A and B are shown apart, each in its own frame.
Chain A
Amino acid sequence: MALLLASLAMGLGAALVFYFAMRARLPQWPPPGTPPLPAGLWLSTGLLLAASAVLHAALRAARRDRLVTVRRLTRAAFALALAFLFSQAAVWFTAYARQMPPQLNMYAITFYLLTGLHALHIVGGLIPLGCVAARAARGRYTAGNHAGLRYCALYWHFVDVVWLVMFAALHMTR
């Protein structure tokens, strides 16, 4: 699992390197004429952090054998993660409507690229999270056996951290 995350981190890290390389080339960042980022991004951030926290709580509940809590919390995490995706989609539409199509400038390109890549990893994480929620509904995760839940939570913490780094990077202006 750690290996998978290391591999993913290299890929997403390369995208960030690309972002900073682009940023370093231009005297003003974001370039003049770029509209401000939609406020919906803060909502997204909150949703993702909440999903991560809820999964952590689910893991703690599993360690104490509280099966009903595990079931509720994994469902909540799934809903929050799904809500994050919708929120991000809304952000994309808002940004587009505010005259920020990807062709506008390099900042717009990197914005769509980073958020898009991240969203792909969210979609990739929703599938196992769905499986975990379904298994939790059947009470499969006990104090002695919850490796699947743990790996899933680990992955979501990972995409959470990646998002925070990206979010911070997008706000670094000059």
Chain B
Amino acid sequence: MTAFSPGVALDRPAGPRTDYLRVRAGLASWLFTLDHKRIGVMYLVGILGAFLLGGIFALLIRTELLTPARTVMSADRYNQFFTLHGAIMTFLVIIPGIPAALGNFVLPIMLGARDLAFPRINLASFYLWVLGAVLAVLAIVLGSVDTGWTFYVPYATETTMGGVIPVLLGAFVLGFSSIFTGLNFIVTIHKMRPPGMTWFRLPLFLWALYATAIIQILATPVLGITLVLLIIERVFKLGIFLPALGGDPVLYQHFFWFYSHPAVYIMILPAMGIVSELISVFSRKHIFGYTFIAFSSIAIAVFGFFVWGHHMFVSGQSTMLTTIFSLLTYSVSIPSAVKVFNWLATMYRGSIALKTPMLYALAFIFLFGIGGLTGLFLGALATDVHLTDTYFVVAHFHYVMMGSTLIAMIGGLHYWWPKMTGRMYSERAGVIAWALVFVGFNLTFFPQFIMGAHGMPRRYYNYPPEFALLHQLSTVGAYLMAVGFFLTAAYLLHALFRGARAPANPWGGATLEWRCASPPPTENFEHPPVAGDPYDYSDIEYDPQTGGYVHVPRPAPAAPAAVH
């Protein structure tokens, strides 16, 4: 759209400073790096690899469901594929996706800092992630798993599949990776803010990461204990959870969801943070209701701890408990709606630029709207009993996890891509791929709401022929989405090698990461920058020479621009 002259880097005078990508070469310089940017890039590569694997499993599942009877695989194989799809996408992709990959890269630069507070712990968390991923892949080799990603007892302790313990250990190790990342982020945000950045001048993405980190360090240890107990139960058959030996299977569900429900907010909060940045920058307007958005992140993090029971409405827990959990569940909708209304108010009368990242942000609001509103039917007791374990639930959480979190992550990836790689991607290809993903996503999951409301249970291998049309629409949608994602991978990789040089500030953002070069030097900033209002665009102007935006400090804040 905007015509840059490729290869000419006018904003970067040829100097001795090199960027973080070229400062050292060789495999060892990456594997032992303590630079948060390189660790972020390694996470990104790993997470996108896991996304590809989980995506292939998803396509296999959808292919099998193309016909009411057997299509391409046996029923056992099908059970393994949906389990692995769920486990990989949840633990390896969505939970670490935004904080560990994008957050690692952006957080210190947004703070004008040189690195995170504990760079070595950061590298250690990356290797823990790798270990967890290896264990998950090992599970496939060692006889796979078919328990579903929630590992419900008694099935998880009784199935003869050889991959159950490796997957459980993998999730356990990934939990530690998550805790260390959270710890690192909290300390960094507390201790390393630059001069001028008060708590209420923190970019909203960092507020979101902060709220996420609180959940990470408080909820994840409980998952650790739960998985250890499950492993002990599976190996020694002690009767902790097994009803036949006097154990309590519902206790397992309580423990599991005490982590896994807050984990939903580990997934969605950073996505909301990204969207807050994108909406403001591409509307060229100050974010509306800054403090409300900031505090709603914290509120969601706190409420998130008290609603786990809504996953267990039909598990046989007491009616009293069920009613209380239902009521508390509705409380989460308040801070979520606060955010959505503030984004809409930010866009109102803004000068909106429909660049690829903004399109993803708009898709987020739309899909999160559907995902959030369908959640109300699941939070209401009477309708939930009808909808439990149907495709309605599947569609709901895909709208929230994939349609919201993953879409925001892809949006953030496009937004920070020029900063990470120093190259611009093709805007036209970006828009086409976005359209494919958006249409494909809705085609995949919207029919599932209808199926679920009509009683199609989730996880079934065969189905009555009357659901065939809806299932086929869903499968076509999945393929469409796959085309969109492969196109995205293709043009991003093309940009990496052939793309036009990116200016320091291609979008006109006011947060600190746009003040250093693209890609940034290893030390990010020579001197800690002084931070102002992260959403004040009045002193940022377009510079046609570089194709980017530059910071033009205005001397007097009161002087109106009379001379043109």
Contacts and interface: CB of A to CB of B under 8 A. Distances in A.
B246 A3 contact: no
B236 A103 contact: yes
Interface string A2-41: 0110111011001100100110010000000000000000
Given A3-B217, A4-B183, A14-B225, A106 B239 contact: yes
Given A3-B186, A10-B218, A21-B248, 20 more contacts: A3-B217, A6-B217, A6-B218, A7-B179, A7-B217, A7-B218, A7-B220, A11-B225, A14-B221, A14-B222, A14-B255, A18-B225, A18-B229, A25-B248, A106-B240, A106-B246, A109-B238, A109-B239, A109-B240, A113-B232
Contacts of A102: 236, 238
Interface of A: 3-4, 6-8, 10-11, 14-15, 18, 21-22, 25, 102-103, 106, 109, 113, 117
Contacts of B236: 102-103
A158 to B, nearest CB: 14
Given A3-B183, A3-B187, A11 B222 contact: yes
A22 B251 CA distance: 9
B444 interface: no
B224 interface: yes
Interface in B240-260: 240, 246, 248, 251, 255, 258
A113 B225 CA distance: 10
A10 B187 contact: no
A128 to B, nearest CB: 14
Contacts of A21: 248, 251
7 cross-chain pairs, A with B, having the tightest CB-CB distances, nearest first? A11-B221, A7-B217, A14-B222, A10-B221, A14-B225, A10-B218, A109-B238
Nearest to A9: B221
A19 B529 CA distance: 52
B226 interface: yes
Contacts of A109: 238-240
A3 B190 CA distance: 12
Contact of A103 (B183, B222, B226, B238): B238
Interface string B222-238: 10111001001000101
A15 to B, nearest CB: 5
A14 B187 contact: no
A14 B183 CA distance: 19
Contacts of A18: 225, 229, 251, 255
B219 interface: yes
Contacts of B238: 102-103, 109
Chain B residues touching A, majority SS? helix
A11 B222 CA distance: 5
A106 B186 CA distance: 39
Nearest to B239: A106
A144 B255 CA distance: 45
Contacts of A8: 221
Contacts of B217: 3, 6-7, 10
A78 to B, nearest CB: 24
Contact of A7 (B187, B221, B225, B239): B221
Nearest to B229: A18
28 contacts: A3-B183, A3-B186, A3-B187, A3-B217, A4-B183, A6-B217, A6-B218, A7-B179, A7-B218, A7-B221, A10-B219, A10-B221, A11-B221, A11-B224, A11-B225, A14-B255, A15-B225, A18-B225, A18-B229, A18-B251, A18-B255, A25-B248, A103-B236, A103-B238, A106-B239, A106-B240, A109-B240, A113-B229
A116 to B, nearest CB: 10
Contacts of A11: 221-222, 224-225
Nearest to A16: B225
Interface string B352-381: 000000000000000000000000000000
Contacts of A6: 217-218
Contacts of A10: 217-219, 221-222
B108 to A, nearest CB: 18
Contacts of A25: 248
Nearest to B183: A3
Interface in B185-218: 186-187, 217-218
B364 to A, nearest CB: 30
Contacts of B246: 106
A113 B229 CA distance: 9
Interface in B322-344: none
A21 B255 CA distance: 11
Interface string B280-323: 00000000000000000000000000000000000000000000
A4 to B, nearest CB: 7
Contacts of A113: 229, 232
A152 B455 CA distance: 57
A102 B248 CA distance: 18
Contacts of B255: 14, 18
B378 to A, nearest CB: 26
A11 B224 CA distance: 7
A106 B179 CA distance: 30
Nearest to B225: A14
A174 B55 CA distance: 53
Interface string B503-532: 000000000000000000000000000000
B270 to A, nearest CB: 19
B439 to A, nearest CB: 43
A11 B226 CA distance: 9
A14 B226 contact: yes
A15 B251 CA distance: 12
B159 to A, nearest CB: 22
Interface string B445-472: 0000000000000000000000000000
Contacts of B179: 7
Contacts of A106: 239-240, 246
A108 B255 CA distance: 21
